[in-house]
Homo-oligomer: A and B are copies of this chain.
Amino acid sequence: MQLAIVLFDRFTALDAVGPYETLGRLPDAEVVFVAEQAGPVRTDSGNLALVAEKTLAEVPRPDVLVVPGGPGQTPQMANRALLDWIRAADAASTWTTSVCTGSLLLAAAGLLDGRRATSHWLALDELRRYGAEPTGERVVTDGKYVTAAGVSAGIDMGLALLGRIAGDAVAQSVQLAIEYDPEPPYDAGSPDRAPAEAVELLRSRSRFILGREQPS
């Protein structure tokens, strides 16, 4: 089974690394990081690059497709080469997945029309504008499409899908291997329970987070 994780300029590192450290531990899976060009691809912070081992053209038919998000998503939503590859890969995939605003790319490719899906909490309205039916769940499965909420939700998505593909015992041993027994120091991970000031702060920056503006 071949698992392709797509990288593009200004992706969010944890969006890609969460599924890699969970779903990517599927026994005997081939995991490949792909991008338009092979080589280093820089993340949203500008401080880190992950290396794409292969070009999109070299990996035309992955069994599992993982699309991360990032604040550079809006330019990518007009990236014809990337969207064409996603559509073609999806046509042959067993599972097509996304983390965070990666679902906006799936939607822009026309893959989520009328489907239940999710995204970063700040991007749910945008996801609806592109034809999907956003839900408030952390991981949403509709047919072969599995979408996760913001950034860290890719870990939960990866474990859940690993369980579907390889069985509970494999997914549980991976969860134990990465000691995923979360103890967040605050109860601030959701807009329903975070302090109102944090929600307002992020809403005020959402045009940046959604990639429509550069940070000042």
Contacts and interface: CB of A to CB of B under 8 A. Distances in A.
Contact of A186 (B30, B40, B49, B168): B168
A140 to B, nearest CB: 12
A17 to B, nearest CB: 5
Contacts of A155: 152, 182, 184
Interface residues of A, number: 66
Query: By CB atoms of chain B within 10 A, which of A20, A40, A50, A177 has the most?
Result: A177
Interface in A21-71: 21, 24-25, 30-33, 40, 45, 47-51, 53
A188 B172 contact: yes
Nearest to A29: B47
Contacts of A172: 186, 188, 194-195, 198
Nearest to A193: B181
B163 A186 contact: yes
A176 B199 contact: yes
A102 to B, nearest CB: 13
A151 B18 CA distance: 11
A202 interface: yes
Interface in A138-197: 138-139, 149-153, 155-156, 159-160, 163, 168-169, 171-173, 175-186, 188-191, 193-195, 197
A89 interface: no
A51 B176 CA distance: 28
